[in-house]
Amino acid sequence: MLRRCLLAPLFLALSGLTLAQEIPPPPGQLVNVGGHLLHFKCAGAGAPTVVIESALGDFSTDWTLVQTGVAPFTRVCAYDRAGYAWSEPGPKPRTFAQINLEMKEGLRLLGEKPPFLLVGHSYGGPVVRAYGAAYPKDVAGLVLVDAVHEDQRVTIMGKAVRLRDGAKGIPIPPRLAVRAEEKATTRVPPAPGPVRPPLDRLPADARRANLWASAQPALDDAENSQREWSTEYFALWHEHPQKGLLGGKPLVVLTRAKGGTKDLDIPAEQIERERLDSQRALLGLGTNGRQRILDSGHNMHLEAPDEVVSAIRSAVEAIHRGGSFVE
């Protein structure tokens, strides 16, 4: 069986694209997961393989600075969720279980061997937590990069809303096969626009890829479903906490020092206190956790990539030592 195959020509044929549209070539590999293509960008060698789960609206190429730093000491894969960048739309709803199933299958097709060190940024944090619950034997540890917590508040229409609000308690099983009506229409090239900080810290090719990927029509559809269904998990985890999920596996929680919160319908001081409390609560996912407070904004992979690389290295080394961090 061909384990590593680049399917860019097939991708262009399926999506109705032409090279004349100046689509950035995928820097990684496209694999067919149940009828839709997912893009994985892997580099380096060694174990455990580090797998990066990005935030809402972020792409594999946004992790170039971190991936370049990790590749010299172990294998590292960043990928684009279904509907993101070069990855085709996948089955809906876009639940954590659905995303996890697709990532697991994609890694299997690529020949990447578990257990993995999972890195989850923002929305990607709860996604990798769900992966740990669904496939515990496939997880060697977690690095949570300013990850979202189920009790955290976000600003919606000028109000501080808990992310678990609005849950309906409706579980949906995942499936690999994509239905015809779930496939996207032809993608279009983006309108020209500036690269906003901190994305301007990326290499030129990664900046261009971000501008292109951000303009693709499939992105909004995928994100809307992700937002809607994440509330179901947050409500469930609030009622039944994931305490002890990892056991003694290495866990690193990276937290920004200041949230930059303003007064909303509740005081900024309360919002900030709850944010820091929820970040500390993430340590309860296991018995072998470490928290690092970084002088950075939310986008640590761009603003403090060396610190993120350092956190990943510490987790990798702990895994090599059987779970022990160096104090």
> 191 pLDDT exceeds 60?
no
Higher-scoring residue by pLDDT: 228, 30: 30
Q: Which residues of 261-300 are buried (b: 16+ CB within 10 A; e: fewer)?
A: beebeeeeeebeebbbebbebbbebbebbbeeebebbbbb
User: In terms of DSSP H, where are the helices of the chain?
Assistant: 8-15, 64-70, 96-110, 124-134, 204-214, 217-239, 268-281, 300-303, 305-320
Omega of the bond prior to 173 within 30 degrees of 0, cis?
no
> d(Cα 285, Cα 150) in Å, to the nearest integer?
13
Mind listing the pLDDT tens digit for each residue in 71-113?
999 999 999 999 999 999 999 999 999 999 999 999 999 999 9
| Helix axis angle, 96-110 to 217-239, nearest 10° | 110
- Closest by CA position to 81, among listed 185, 215, 208, 222: 222
> d(Cα 204, Cα 201) in Å, to the nearest integer?
9
Beta bridge partners of 325: none
> 216 pLDDT exceeds 60?
yes
- pLDDT category of residue 183 using cuts at 50, 70 and 90: low
> 194 pLDDT exceeds 80?
no
271 neighbors 162 (Cβ within 8 angstroms): no
Q: Could you tell me if residue 278 is left (phi over 0), alpha (psi between -120 and 50 degrees) or otherwise beta?
A: alpha
Residue 159: its pLDDT value, please? 77
> 148 pLDDT exceeds 90?
yes
> d(Cα 247, Cα 326) in Å, to the nearest integer?
18
pTM over 0.95: no
> d(Cα 184, Cα 168) in Å, to the nearest integer?
27
DSSP state letter for 327? -
> 278 pLDDT exceeds 80?
yes
Number of Cα atoms under 13 Å in the Cβ half of residue 293: 8
